[in-house]
Amino acid sequence: MLHRRHRDGYQISLQGPPGGAQTLRLSGRLNLQAMGHLLAQFKRVLEPTPPASLTVELSGVQYLDSGGALALNLLSEQAAQRQVPLKLEGLGPQGQQMLALVRPDRLAPPMPPPTPRPGNFIENLGVGALRLLDDLVEVVAFVGSLARALALVARRPSVLRWRDVELYMERVGVDGLPIVALISFLLGLIMAFMSAIQLKHFGANIYVADLVAVAMVRELGPIMTAVLVAGRSGSAFAAEIGTMVVNQEVDALKVMGFDITVFLAMPKIVAALLMVPLLILFSDLLAIVGGMIIGVTYLDLTVYSYVQHTLGALSVGAITSGALKGVVFAFLIGGIGCQRGLAVAGGAEGVGRATTSAVVAGMFLIVVADSIFAIVQYYL
- The Cα 288–Cα 214 span in angstroms is 10
- The Cα 284–Cα 322 span in angstroms is 9
Q: In CATH, what number is assigned to the domain containing residue 71?
A: 3.30.750.24
Residue 36 located in a structural domain: yes
Q: Is 367 a residue whose pLDDT tops 90?
A: yes
Q: Are residues 90 and 207 in the same domain?
A: no
Residue 119's pLDDT band (boundaries 50, 70, 90)?
Answer: low
Cβ pair 224, 184 in contact under 8 A: yes
Q: Are residues 81 and 205 in the same domain?
A: no
Average per-residue pLDDT in the chain?
85
| Final residue of a structural domain among 90, 107, 124 | 107
Q: Are residues 72 and 162 in the same domain?
A: no
Residue 116 located in a structural domain: no
Residue 125 located in a structural domain: no
Q: Are residues 252 and 188 in the same domain?
A: yes
Q: Are residues 220 and 82 in the same domain?
A: no
Note the pLDDT tens digit of each residue in 173-189.
999 999 999 999 999 99
Q: Are residues 179 and 98 in the same domain?
A: no
Which amino acid is residue 357, in one-letter code?
Answer: S
Q: Are residues 335 and 205 in the same domain?
A: yes
Q: Is 9 a residue whose pLDDT tops 80?
A: no
Residue 18's pLDDT band (boundaries 50, 70, 90)?
Answer: confident
Write out the residue range of the structural domain in which residue 78 sits: 2-107
Task: Put residue 19 in one of left, alpha, beta given phi > 0 → left and psi -120 to 50 → alpha.
Answer: left
353 CB-contact burial (10 Å; exposed 0-12 / middle 13-18 / buried 19+): middle
| Final residue of a structural domain among 86, 107, 128 | 107
Q: Is 233 a residue whose pLDDT tops 80?
A: yes
CA quadruple 64, 65, 67, 71: dihedral positive or negative?
Answer: positive
| Final residue of a structural domain among 87, 107, 127 | 107
Domain count for the chain, please give it. 2
Residue 270 located in a structural domain: yes
Note the pLDDT tens digit of each residue in 212-230.
999 999 889 999 999 999 9
- The Cα 121–Cα 104 span in angstroms is 44
Q: Are residues 83 and 145 in the same domain?
A: no
Residue 56 located in a structural domain: yes
Residue 332 located in a structural domain: yes
